[in-house]
Amino acid sequence: MSDAPVTWAVRLEYDGGGYVGWQKQANGVSIQGLLEEAASRIAGGRPVPSITAGRTDAGVHAGGQVIQLDFPSGFDRDARQVRDGINFHLKPHPIVVLDAALAAPGWNARFSAIRRRYRYRILNRPARPALDAGQVWHVKRPLDAQAMHEGAQHLLGRHDFSSFRAASCQANSPMRTLDRLDVARNGDIVSIEADARSFLHHQVRNMVGSLQLVGWGAWTPADTRTALEACDRSKAGPTAPPDGLALIGVDYPDDPFAAT
């Protein structure tokens, strides 16, 4: 019998509001810590290490996060048992497994991913959020979503995104290819959707912080290009708060959940 782990892919939804973020840390409760603990409970208490498609920060949410769980060899459950078993042990945390699937040989949640999709939601009205509290960025000044969309288009393509990169970013290169950055208004909500193979740390929140300047007229749409070309974090807008951000999807060449 092989000692190789039995690798599962799980798709997660969570409200990141009360946690230190995805990654395990000494100073608080993490999504990763809770998920690994719940997974361990259905694996006879043995450790179940995880790999994420995208490390979300404290307060950032997920609607379609993908995680790799390496169960100990001999672990034998069906998809429903994995999903429902982990969900049982995750109660009452606002973290749930939406789908679970046995992974194909060689699949890696992080390195096999070819696209991540984030959504950022701004609540644009005078009154603070009640129903969406903790899941939107509240901006009182009226925003012109069409101007924001125009500004966003200047950021598409392969560029040095140093102007939108956190100082703490650990990536080797500031080069990234942004495939989509759409801004649209629906009532009081201004939604920004961003697609790329991968993002720098805080890249989406930093782009949103600049687009918000375009939205209320402090910047012209073309100022986003000037900020990008400066390759200097101090030339771009502020970092938007985590509340409005959610990782909503991760794509792989072969969808691990196609059969679920």
Identify whether 57 is a catalytic site residue: yes
Q: Which of 15, 57, 70, 243 is catalytic?
A: 57
Among 83, 159, 202, 233, binds a copy of itself (CB under 8 A): 83
H helices of the chain, in order, are 31-41, 79-90, 145-153, 203-215, 223-230
Among 7, 30, 68, 135, binds a copy of itself (CB under 8 A): 135
Q: HSE (CB half, 13 Å, CA atoms) of 190? A: 25
The minimum distance between CB 2 and a copy of itself, in angstroms, equals: 31
Cβ(83)–Cβ(72) below 8 Å: no
Tokens encoding 215: 């939205």
The minimum distance between CB 257 and a copy of itself, in angstroms, equals: 13
How many chain residues touch a copy of itself (CB under 8 A)?
25
Q: Return the range that interacts with a copy of itself (CB under 8 A); candidates 46-54, 86-94, 164-172, 214-222.
A: 86-94
Torsion sign (Cα): 87, 90, 93, 99: negative
Q: What is the spatial distance between Cα 139 and Cα 129, in angstroms, rounded to a whole number?
A: 10
Q: Return the range that interacts with a copy of itself (CB under 8 A); candidates 41-49, 50-58, 128-136, 158-166.
A: 128-136
Is 14 annotated for ligand binding?
no
Q: What is the spatial distance between Cα 8 and Cα 220, in angstroms, rounded to a whole number?
A: 47
Residues that bind a copy of itself (CB under 8 A): 13-15, 61, 63, 80, 83-84, 87, 91, 94-98, 125-131, 133, 135, 246
Known catalytic residues are 57
